[in-house]
Structure 1
Amino acid sequence: MSHKRIPKRKAAIAVGGVAALGAAALLLPNANASQDEEAAGAAPRTLRANDASDLAAQVRGLLGDAFAGSYYDSGSRQLVVNVAGGDENATLRAEQAGAVVRRVDNSTAELQSAARTLRTEATIPGTSWAVDPRTNRILVTADSTVTGARWDRLESTVQGLGSGMATIKKSAGTFKTFVAGGDAVFSQVQGGTVRCSLGFNVTASDGSPAFLTAGHCGVAAENWSDSETGQPIATVDQATFPGEGDFSLVTYDDATTQAPSEVNVSGGQSVQIAQAAEATVGQAVLRMGSTTGLHDGTVTGLDATVNFQSETDPSGVDTVTGLIQTDVCAEPGDSGGPLFTQDGSALGLTSGGSGDCTSGGETFFQPVTTALQATGATLGAGGAGDQNGGGDQAGGGDQAGGDGVGGAADPSASAQDPSGAGGPMDGGQSGTGDQSGNGTGDQSGAGTGDQSGTGDQTGTGAHAGASRSRTH
Structure 2
Amino acid sequence: MRSRHRKISRGKVLAAAAAALAAGTAAIALPQADAAGTGEVAQSITGTAWAVDTRTGETLVTADSTVQGAKWDSLLAATRGKAVRVERTPGVLSLFAEGGDAIFAGGARCSLGFNVTTNDGRPAILTAGHCAAAGRRWSLTQGGRPVATVQKSTFPGNGDFSLLTYDNAATSAPSAVDTGGGRLVNITRAAAAQVGGQVSRMGSTTGLHNGRVTALNATVNYPEGRVTGLIQTTVCAEPGDSGGPLFTGDGSAIGVTSGGSGNCRTGGVTFFQPATTALAAVGARIGG
Question: TM-score scaled to structure 2, two decimals?
Answer: 0.86
Query: Which residue of the partner structure matches residue 246 of structure 1?
Result: 160
Partner SS state of residue 374, structure 1:
helix
Q: Is residue 2:287 matched to residue 1:377?
A: no
Query: Which residue of the partner structure matches residue 155 of structure 1?
Result: 76
Structure 2 contact 195–216 (Cα < 8 Å) conserved: yes
Structure number with the higher strand fraction is 2
Counterparts of 1:220 and 1:12, CA distance in 2: 19
Deviations 1:372-416 (A, max 9, x none): 1000111112xxxxxxxxxxxxxxxxxxxxxxxxxxxxxxxxxxx
Q: Which residue, 93, 108, 126 being the options, matches 2:47?
A: 126
Counterparts of 1:168 and 1:183, CA distance in 2: 35
Structure 1 contact 240–246 (Cα < 8 Å) conserved: yes
Counterparts of 1:265 and 1:158, CA distance in 2: 41
Letter in 2 for 1:219: A
Q: Which residue, 213, 223, 228 being the options, matches 2:137?
A: 223
Partner SS state of residue 157, structure 2:
coil
Aligned length: 264
Letter in 2 for 1:177: L
Structure 1 contact 247–371 (Cα < 8 Å) conserved: yes
Query: Which residue of the partner structure matches residue 321 of structure 1?
Result: 228
Q: Which residue, 96, 100, 109 being the options, matches 1:178?
A: 96
Query: Which residue of the partner structure matches residue 11 of structure 2?
Result: 11
* Structure 1 residues 218 and 187: CA distance shift in structure 2, 3 A: same
Q: Is residue 2:248 matched to residue 1:341?
A: yes
Query: Which residue of the partner structure matches residue 264 of structure 1?
Result: 178
* Structure 1 residues 9 and 363: CA distance shift in structure 2, 3 A: farther
Counterparts of 1:123 and 1:376, CA distance in 2: 34
Structure 1 contact 128–305 (Cα < 8 Å) conserved: yes
Q: Which residue, 207, 211, 216 being the options, matches 2:121?
A: 207
CA RMSD, 1 decimal:
1.9
Structure number with the higher helix fraction is 1
Cα shift at 1:264:
2.1
Cα shift at 1:207:
1.5
Letter in 1 for 2:156: P
Q: Which residue, 201, 206, 222 being the options, matches 1:308?
A: 222
Cα shift at 1:220:
2.8
Q: Is residue 2:57 matched to residue 1:136?
A: yes
Counterparts of 2:45 and 2:34, CA distance in 1: 25
Structure 2 contact 13–126 (Cα < 8 Å) conserved: no
Counterparts of 2:180 and 2:91, CA distance in 1: 30
Equivalence map 1:415-426=2 (5 Å): none
Cα shift at 1:106:
5.7
Q: Which residue, 131, 141, 147 being the options, matches 1:233?
A: 147
Letter in 2 for 1:128: A
Counterparts of 1:304 and 1:231, CA distance in 2: 37
Question: TM-score scaled to structure 1, two decimals?
Answer: 0.54
* Structure 1 residues 360 and 344: CA distance shift in structure 2, 3 A: same
Deviations 1:15-69 (A, max 9, x none): xxxxxxxxxxxxxxxxxxxxxxxxxxxxxxxxxxxxxxxxxxxxxxxxxxxxxxx
Structure 1 portions without partners, runs of 5+: 1-6, 15-104, 311-317, 382-472
Question: Aligned residues: percent identity?
Answer: 57
Structure 2 portions without partners, runs of 5+: 1-6, 15-32
* Structure 1 residues 376 and 355: CA distance shift in structure 2, 3 A: same
Structure 1 contact 187–221 (Cα < 8 Å) conserved: yes
Partner SS state of residue 361, structure 1:
strand
- Which structure has more relative contact order (CA 8 Å, sep 6+)? It is 2
Q: Is residue 2:280 matched to residue 1:359?
A: no
Structure 1 contact 225–234 (Cα < 8 Å) conserved: yes
